[in-house]
């Protein structure tokens, strides 16, 4: 039976986050330059976005470019930025057709102007779409976001808008650039690496992690469905015991 048919609609994650990894190795295995892997990674982005929209996942966050990725060779950074601009511009029509809203998190002002312009245009155009949120993490790192939130809260305390006693999990969450969406229930990382790599450190506190050795350009809809089925077969205890959960259900 295909994995899609094994998915229980009642237990769908509302938010899936993905660390798309392995583009470089995929290209190398074919004797090609790294950018060839990134270009083929765009196909997987399309597949996964479509798959999520089709089955009813409401939020999908993709780690497309981390703060640390700026340290890659300049030629690769330039090629990735160019690819982002091209992809965002060519995919806007499909996002509109599928009623998907494009959002972005990260230090967006550090992106090249052409990239930011294309991104802002696409975000404006798709702003009233409501079938699914596609959230691109661009020039993003969780530590960057956390420091930004801490500074904002410190400023509010300093100007006496809030007191130290007002600081709690809810307030902190509301300051993060991810505050509009629920925290991901499922994190997927491809390519066999088992790291978070500075991605959504606060938001992933209780997420289920799914690792696969598949390299990102090879990741298909069926791979996504398989990850969701795996997630649905897990018991999410949030610190409670298994017995407590059974009691809560009754």
- Least distance to ligand FPP, CB of residue 215, Å: 7
| Residues at the interface with ligand FPP (CB under 6 A) | 20-25, 34, 38, 41-42, 45, 62, 64, 69, 83-84, 87, 136, 191
- Least distance to ligand FPP, CB of residue 85, Å: 9
- Least distance to ligand FPP, CB of residue 39, Å: 8
For the question of residue 69 being annotated catalytic, the response is yes
Which is the catalytic residue, given 21, 103, 145, 223? 21
Residues 14, 197: Cα–Cα separation, whole Å: 22
Specify the residue, 46 or 240, whose C-beta has the smaller distance to ligand FPP: 46
CB 149 within 8 A of CB 176: yes
For the question of residue 21 being annotated catalytic, the response is yes
Residues 151, 153: Cα–Cα separation, whole Å: 5
- CB count within 10 Å of CB 215 equals 23
Specify the residue, 153 or 224, whose C-beta has the smaller distance to ligand FPP: 224
Which is the catalytic residue, given 23, 40, 59, 69? 69
Residues 160, 84: Cα–Cα separation, whole Å: 42
Specify the residue, 94 or 233, whose C-beta has the smaller distance to ligand FPP: 94
Left, alpha or beta for 175 (phi > 0: left; psi -120 to 50: alpha)? alpha
Residue with tokens 């999908």: 60
Positions annotated as catalytic residues are 21, 69
């Amino acid at each position: 039976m295909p994995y899609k048919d094994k998915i229980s609609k009642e237990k769908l994650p509302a938010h899936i986050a993905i660390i798309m990894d392995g583009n470089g190795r995929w290209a190398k295995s074919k004797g090609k330059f790294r950018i060839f892997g990134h270009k083929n990674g765009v196909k997987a982005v399309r597949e996964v976005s479509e798959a999520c929209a089709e089955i009813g996942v409401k939020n999908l966050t993709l780690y497309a470019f981390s703060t640390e990725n700026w340290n890659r060779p300049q030629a690769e950074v330039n090629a990735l930025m160019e690819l982002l601009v091209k992809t965002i511009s060519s995919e806007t029509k499909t996002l509109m057709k599928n009623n998907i809203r494009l959002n972005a998190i990260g230090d967006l002002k550090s992106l090249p102007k052409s990239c930011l312009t294309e991104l802002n245009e696409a975000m404006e155009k798709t702003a009233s779409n409501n079938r699914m949120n596609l959230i691109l993490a661009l020039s993003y790192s969780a530590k960057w976001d956390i420091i930004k939130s801490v500074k904002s809260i410190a400023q509010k305390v300093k100007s006496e808008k809030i007191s130290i006693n007002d600081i709690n999990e809810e307030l902190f969450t509301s300051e993060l650039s991810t505050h509009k969406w629920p925290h991901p229930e499922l994190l997927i990382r491809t390519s066999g690496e088992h790291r978070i790599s500075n991605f959504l450190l606060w938001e992933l506190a209780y997420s289920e992690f799914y690792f696969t050795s598949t390299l990102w350009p090879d990741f298909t809809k069926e791979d996504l469905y398989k990850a969701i089925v795996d997630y649905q077969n897990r018991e999410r205890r949030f610190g409670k015991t298994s017995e407590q959960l059974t009691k809560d259900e009754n």
